[in-house]
Amino acid sequence: MLPLILQAGAGEARLDIISLILNASPVVKGVLGLLIFMSAASWFVIGSKALYLSSASSRSAKFQDAFWKTGRLDEIWRMSEAASPSPVGEVFRAGYTELAKLQKRRQENADGASEAMLGDIESIQRALHRASTTAITEMESRVPLLGTTASAGPFIGLFGTVWGIMNSFRNIGAKGAANLATVAPGIAEALVATAIGLMAAIPAVIFYNYFSRRIRVISSDMETFSSDFLNIVRRRFF
């Protein structure tokens, strides 16, 4: 009985997670290393992007509150210079900078035709659009890594699973026996690859969808603000 107990204990120790990883084949170890790297990179992106988007959203909301409470654009410009940058604030700064350039040009050239005024509006609109595009690009940076991890992680883990099962069948063929001691290590090794692939993919897909929604909300705020700013410019200056 004692040798049987010792053999069972040795088999149990051999099938724990750490032992499976250490005794895995080089291909499966490479798969596990890649998945662990992708998971670590995803969590770094999750942490940094969560802080960035939370700060961007709150700063944009504060700027819009101050914008509608203040009547003068020059006062809002001075306030934006002193405040921390925000997506909506950067859109305003781009539009106001273009407006100031056009006003200076119109003062130098007193003969302002209607075609020139229309071109000025389009110039301000393009400046607002460029600032919005830059802000969206900054918000979306590194987020595609989460989408890549979410989509590729399970398939990479599945590759490790298939390779582990192939090793199990090779062991069966080499030893000529299909008992549990021959099959279990390879199957367990294969399932570890699948499990780590899912562990990397599930948080990535959750936060990818969450960040995509937050970016769409902030983008919608910038688009709405751009339209309101253009309407104010048309009424006051054109």
Which residue pairs from 136-145 have beta carbons closer than 8 angstroms and sit at least 24 positions apart in sequence? 136/215, 136/219, 136/222, 139/52, 139/53, 139/56, 139/87, 139/215, 139/218, 139/219, 140/215, 142/45, 142/48, 142/49, 143/45, 143/49, 143/208, 143/211, 143/212, 143/215, 145/41, 145/42, 145/45
Residue of 13 and 99 predicted with greater confidence:
99
Residues of the chain with pLDDT > 70, as a percent, come to 82
Cβ pair 61, 225 in contact under 8 A: no
172: confidence class by pLDDT, cuts 50, 70, 90: confident
Quick: pLDDT tens for 186-208: 677 778 888 899 999 999 999 99
What pLDDT, on the 0 to 100 scale, is given for residue 173? 72
pLDDT-derived band at 82 (thresholds 50, 70, 90) equals confident
What are the pLDDT digits (tens) for 89-119?
999 999 988 888 887 777 766 555 555 565 6
Asked if residues 196 and 36 have their Cβ atoms less than 8 Å apart, the reply is: yes
pLDDT band at 10 (very low <50, low <70, confident <90, very high): very low
Residue 146 contacts by C-beta under 8 Å, 6 or more apart in sequence?
42, 45, 46, 204, 205, 207, 208, 211
Amino acid at 107: Q
Residues 6+ apart with CB under 8 A from 192: 17, 20, 21, 24, 32, 160
Reduce the secondary structure of 54-98 to three states and give it as a string.
HHHHHHHHHHHHHHHHCCCHHHHHHHHHHCCCCHHHHHHHHHHHH
0.85 exceeded by pTM: no
Rg (CA), the chain: 30
Please check whether residue 157 is in contact with residue 194, taking contact to mean a CB–CB distance below 8 angstroms.
yes
CA nearest to 126, candidates 192, 134, 195: 134
